[in-house]
Amino acid sequence: METIASVTGGKVRGSTDGEISRFLGIPYAAAPVGPARFESPKPVPEWSGVRDATEYGATCAQSPYPPAIHALVGSDGIPGDEYLNVNVWTPDAGGSGLPVLVWIHGGAFVRGSNARTIYDGSAFARDGVVVVSVNYRLGISGFAAVPGAPLNRGLRDQIFALHWVQENIAAFGGDPGNVTVFGESAGGMSVVNLIASPAARGLFRRAIAQSANGSAVADAGDARKVAENVATALGIEPTVAEFGGLGPDQLRTVQDSIALDLMTNPDPARWGASIVSNGLGILSFFPVIDGELIPDRPTDVIAAQPDRAVPLIFGWTAEEFRFFTFPTGIAAGITDETLPFALARYGLDPAVAEPYAANRPGASAADVFAAVITDLVFRDDALRIAELTEAAGQPAYAYEFAWRSGVPDLGACHVMEVPFVFDKVTAAPGLTGPNPPQPLADEMHGAWVRFATHGDPGWSRFDFTTRTVRIFDSPESYDVADPRADELRALRRSQKG
């Protein structure tokens, strides 16, 4: 059955199955092609008649993941110019006052889209929540610091989409005053940037940041060095006009070559110190401190301006970095002999490994490396932001996803919690392996529904006395006071050293 809704630009035709209506690929901004690719988002042109919204829309230019990662999570690539689009799932398009969740996808700011099966919002709609999933500009299109172009175009897209939600969500039964923004990985980092950004103030009430941190931002001067490297690789001048003439195939090719070059030759003199250190060897094009949308590192902004804080769920998976080390083959090169050098590359004193190894009898050097870098990139910053949120007088809820995949070597790695949050565990066998625990999905998904609805996910609030963390696991989840505190103390000492 079809359902019609009126939004900015015109009318859209969605589909209804049972009690859930879906509207897919709705453009929220004008197509950013040609020189417009490097401009701020513009209002979508009006269309006549009723526009079909029953299939996913286009995605920003990107290459498929390398085979090892593609096997786990798949890849994205729907051609088309109107890739600034949103999807909406609602339990009652004719209703009102429903809570709203706005999803920002991950993908290291160079990959991903809102069209993945594990991001399907049907289960949230089934449980009374309107879900909006957002596409935004990625890679060179979204984050290259091209002279003469506004910085952080991808983040500007997200803010533009949040304005679209404020203006249009009532047409789908949603309450614009009860919006929770949530995201994972680059999407979670985007959430933290949105919390800190003056331009996003008032556009959402609560936030959930999954597997994120508040430090992955680049200095503008360093980001310009990356753009200059792109221009050199293409044989063009680093101008808006020259960059605006690039087609999707050129963008895909050079994004991949720059990422590989940066990973294998992380020379701060060439790329800029903040690109190398804050990008952690994974990120090549990512948000930039511009004094406007991003005034400073988000953790510093929230510390200096506690009024920016909002009620927050912030968490990580117990073994995040296994995603980046084991499927890719990097783990094979980390031995007892090479571990000190691998840790030193991240600016850590190799002695930091001692408590991690002691707490994991029989663990390999690669296991220890993944545990340390998991805490460095994700857990440490997660707890810092939980601390800042509580200090600001807003409720913070911390979690760790600890269930280990049935796929060999993955463990409780990066991305593993996403199909549980969306209640789509049967849609990700390459990631979860066979027979993932449905009760754990029921529990975690339900917590997100409760938080979006009334702000309490159902476990103990983080505070400075108990530092409670919810451990999501099977057969039973539980709360722990300050888990593995000895490891975190060692990590923070190592960073200071």
Q: Is residue 322 part of a domain?
A: yes
Under 8 Å between Cβ of 142 and 187: no
Q: How far apart, in whole angstroms, are the C-alpha atoms of residue 17 and residue 357?
A: 52
User: Domain check: are 138 and 17 in the same one?
Assistant: yes
Phi, psi for residue 253 in degrees, rounded to 5: -65, -45
Q: How far apart, in whole angstroms, are the C-alpha atoms of residue 37 and residue 153?
A: 9
Write down the catalytic residue from 21, 63, 141, 414.
414
pLDDT digits (tens, 9 = 90+) for 12-59: 999 999 889 999 999 999 999 989 999 999 999 999 999 999 999 999
Which among 205, 193, 196 has a CA at the least distance from the CA of 166? 205
pTM passes above 0.95: yes
Q: Is residue 412 part of a domain?
A: yes
Task: Mark 323-339 as b/e (b = at least 16 C-beta within 10 Å).
Answer: bbbbbeeebeebeeeeb
pLDDT band at 230 (very low <50, low <70, confident <90, very high): very high
User: Domain check: are 319 and 210 in the same one?
Assistant: no
Q: Is residue 30 part of a domain?
A: yes
Q: Is residue 289 part of a domain?
A: no
Q: What is the pLDDT of residue 282?
A: 81
Two structure tokens written together for 319: 């073994």
Please compute the mean of the pLDDT values over residues 245-272 and round it to a whole number: 91
Q: Which residues contact 472 (CB under 8 A, 6 or more apart)?
A: 399, 400, 401, 402, 403, 417, 420, 440, 443, 444
Q: What is the pLDDT of residue 279?
A: 86
User: Domain check: are 201 and 315 in the same one?
Assistant: no
The full length of the chain comes to: 497
Helix axes 380-391, 485-496, angle to 10 degrees: 100
> What are the angstrom distances between the C-alpha of 43 and each of 26, 161, 235, 314, 374?
13, 10, 33, 33, 40
User: Domain check: are 330 and 193 in the same one?
Assistant: no
User: Domain check: are 49 and 164 in the same one?
Assistant: yes
User: Domain check: are 39 and 183 in the same one?
Assistant: yes
Of 218, 240, 256, which residue is a domain's last?
218
User: Domain check: are 212 and 356 in the same one?
Assistant: no
Looking up residue 154, the CATH number of its domain turns out to be 3.40.50.1820
Contacts of range 64-72, beta carbons closer than 8 Å, 24 or more positions apart? 65/111, 66/328, 68/327, 68/328, 68/329, 69/323, 69/327, 69/328, 71/327, 71/430, 72/323, 72/327, 72/407, 72/410, 72/415, 72/430, 72/431
Q: Is residue 302 part of a domain?
A: no
Instruction: Respond yes or no: is residue 48 known to be catalytic.
Output: no
Q: What is the pLDDT of residue 496?
A: 59
Sign of CA dihedral 334, 337, 341, 344: positive
pLDDT digits (tens, 9 = 90+) for 415-468: 999 999 999 999 999 999 999 999 999 999 999 999 999 999 999 999 999 999
Under 8 Å between Cβ of 140 and 240: no
pLDDT digits (tens, 9 = 90+) for 330-374: 999 999 999 999 999 899 999 999 999 999 999 999 999 999 999
User: Domain check: are 193 and 327 in the same one?
Assistant: no
Q: How far apart, in whole angstroms, are the C-alpha atoms of residue 328 and residue 438?
A: 28
In the chain, the largest separation of any two C-alpha atoms, in whole Å, equals 67
Q: Which residue has better confidence, 496 or 110?
A: 110
Range(s) of the domain holding residue 385: 311-496
Provide the domain count of the chain: 2
User: Domain check: are 12 and 154 in the same one?
Assistant: yes
Write down the catalytic residue from 113, 185, 190, 405.
185
Q: Which residues contact 305 (CB under 8 A, 6 or more apart)?
A: none
pLDDT band at 391 (very low <50, low <70, confident <90, very high): very high
Under 8 Å between Cβ of 190 and 217: no
User: Domain check: are 324 and 190 in the same one?
Assistant: no
pLDDT digits (tens, 9 = 90+) for 59-73: 999 999 989 999 999
Q: Is residue 277 part of a domain?
A: no
Under 8 Å between Cβ of 346 and 280: yes
Q: How far apart, in whole angstroms, are the C-alpha atoms of residue 351 and residue 372?
A: 11
Q: Is residue 62 part of a domain?
A: yes
User: Domain check: are 188 and 337 in the same one?
Assistant: no
User: Domain check: are 491 and 347 in the same one?
Assistant: yes
Of 187, 218, 249, which residue is a domain's last?
218
Q: How far apart, in whole angstroms, are the C-alpha atoms of residue 58 and residue 30?
A: 13
Q: What is the pLDDT of residue 369?
A: 98
Instruction: Respond yes or no: is residue 163 known to be catalytic.
Output: no
Q: Is residue 135 part of a domain?
A: yes
Beta-carbon count within 10 A of 244 CB: 16
pLDDT digits (tens, 9 = 90+) for 154-191: 999 999 999 999 999 999 999 999 999 999 999 999 99
Q: What is the pLDDT of residue 1?
A: 72
Q: Which residue has better confidence, 265 or 359?
A: 359
Q: Is the pLDDT of residue 266 over 60?
A: yes
Write down the catalytic residue from 319, 320, 387, 487.
320
Place of tokens 């800029």: 272
Instruction: Respond yes or no: is residue 15 known to be catalytic.
Output: no
Q: Is the pLDDT of residue 211 over 60?
A: yes
pLDDT digits (tens, 9 = 90+) for 191-201: 999 999 999 99
Of 163, 198, 218, which residue is a domain's last?
218
pLDDT digits (tens, 9 = 90+) for 287-336: 999 999 999 999 999 999 999 999 999 999 999 999 999 999 999 999 99
